[in-house]
Amino acid sequence: MIALLVVRPGPLLDGLNALLYAMPDIRLVAQANDADAALDFCRRSPVELIILEVKPGHQELLARVANMKAVCSRGQVLALIHDEVDWQPAEASGADLIMMVGIRAAEIKVRLGELVRPLAEAS
């Protein structure tokens, strides 16, 4: 399974990379800098997991979730938000899972496993 991260460089990106590479169903972790690059990558590769970092006050990624899901028909989208204000827009975007940045890695691993397990079983 291919995972695509749209996350700014830093500790969050580093931690997600380490976490995803440790998951047995993930075979490739790619990165995109913005929604356009993410959509371009999705058109070329069968992405099944997309993780978006929604920065406070910058919900433009959420506006593109429907496009990403249309291009990646099996793609599941995790929206990582920094602020509770972004929770409702993330829900409205069609994201499959919404989590606050700063939760424990163990919880992220469990929730990601629940999200990708059905995809891995279907493959």
Residues 50 and 72: beta-carbon distance below 8 Å: yes
The arithmetic mean of pLDDT across residues 105-109, rounded, is: 81
- The residues, ordered by sequence, that sit 6+ positions from 25 with a Cβ below 8 Å of its Cβ are 1, 116, 117, 119, 120
Q: pLDDT tens across 56-68, in order? A: 877 788 899 999 9
Question: Is pLDDT of 104 > 70?
Answer: yes
- The residues, ordered by sequence, that sit 6+ positions from 64 with a Cβ below 8 Å of its Cβ are 35, 38, 39
Q: What are the residues facing 24 on neighbouring strands? A: none
Q: What is the pTM of this model?
A: 0.89
Residues 3 and 28: beta-carbon distance below 8 Å: yes
Q: Where are the domains of the chain?
A: 2-117
CATH superfamily of the 2-117 domain: Response regulator (3.40.50.2300)
* pLDDT confidence of residue 30: 92
Q: Is 51 helix (H, G, I), strand (E, B) or coil?
A: strand
